[in-house]
Chain A
Amino acid sequence: MDFDFTPEQSQFKDELREFLRAEVPLEKQEVFGQWSEEQYQFGREINRQLAARNWLAIGLPEKYGGGGKGAIERGILAEELGYGRVPKAGFIGLGIVAPAIMAFGTKDQKDLYLSPIAKGEVEYCQGFSEPNVGSDLASLELRAERDGDGYVLNGAKMFTSYAFQADYIYLLARTDPQAEKHRGISLFIVDMKTSGISLQPLPYINGEMAAQVDFDNVCLPWSSLIGEENRGWYQAMTTLDYERSGLGRYGSVRRVFDDITDFCNDSAPDGGQPLAEHPLVRHQLADRRLGMETWKLLCWRVAWLQSTGSTPNAEASIAFLYGTDERLRFAEMAMEVLGPYATLRNGSGQAPLLGNIEGIHREAMHLHGAGTTEIHRNIIAQRGLGMPR
Chain B
Amino acid sequence: MNFSLTSEQQLLRNTAREFLAIECPTSVVREAEESGVGHAPDLWRKMADLGWMGICLPKKYGGEESLLTDQTVLFEEVGRALVPGPLLSSSVLAAQIVLHGGTDQQKETLLPGMIRGEIILTLARGERLETSSQSGNLVLSGDSSFVRYAGSANQIICATRPAIGAWPDTTLVLVDGQADGVIKTAMESIANYPQFLVEFDDVSLPDDAVLGEIAEGRVALELATQRATVIQCAETLGRAEKVLDMVVEYAGMRQQFGQPIGTFQAVQHRCANLKVAVDSGRLLTYQAAWRLDQNLRASDEIAMAKAQSGTLSRLATETGHSIFAGISFTVEHDMHLYSDRAKIAEANLGDTEYHLDQMIVD
A residues in contact (CB < 8 Å) with B? 1-5, 9, 72, 261-262, 264-265, 276, 282-283, 285-287, 289-290, 293-294, 297-298, 300-301, 303-305, 307-308, 314-315, 318, 321-322, 374, 376-378, 380-382, 384-389
Contact = CB atoms under 8 A, between A and B. Distances in A.
Contacts of B361: 261, 264-265, 276, 282, 285-286, 289
A230 to B, nearest CB: 30
A186 B168 CA distance: 76
A4 B251 CA distance: 38
30 contacts: A1-B3, A2-B2, A3-B286, A9-B1, A287-B356, A290-B304, A290-B356, A294-B283, A298-B279, A303-B1, A305-B3, A308-B4, A315-B279, A318-B279, A321-B272, A321-B276, A322-B276, A377-B268, A378-B265, A378-B268, A378-B269, A378-B272, A380-B272, A381-B268, A384-B275, A385-B244, A386-B248, A387-B248, A387-B262, A387-B267
A314 B271 CA distance: 13
A301 B286 CA distance: 12
Interface in B260-274: 260, 262-263, 265, 267-269, 271-273
Interface string B277-298: 0011001101100110000000
Contact of B280 (A282, A305, A322): A322
B71 interface: no
A265 B359 CA distance: 14
B362 A276 contact: yes
Given A298-B280, A387-B248, A4 B1 contact: yes
B262 A290 contact: no
Nearest to A380: B272
Given A72-B1, A294-B308, A307-B1, A377 B286 contact: no
A384 B272 contact: yes
Interface of B: 1-6, 69, 244, 248, 251-252, 260, 262-263, 265, 267-269, 271-273, 275-276, 279-280, 283-284, 286-287, 290-291, 304, 307-308, 353, 356-357, 359, 361-362
Nearest to B263: A388
Contacts, number: 129
A318 B272 CA distance: 8
Contacts of B287: 3, 297
A300 B286 CA distance: 14
A377 B263 CA distance: 13
Contacts of B353: 283
B304 A293 contact: yes
A316 B357 CA distance: 31
B280 A388 contact: no
B292 to A, nearest CB: 12
A387 B251 contact: yes
A377 B269 contact: yes
A139 B158 CA distance: 68
Given A1-B3, A378-B268, A378-B269, 8 more contacts: A1-B290, A3-B290, A3-B291, A5-B1, A290-B307, A290-B356, A297-B283, A377-B268
Given A283-B357, A318-B279, A322-B276, A1 B268 contact: no
B29 to A, nearest CB: 25
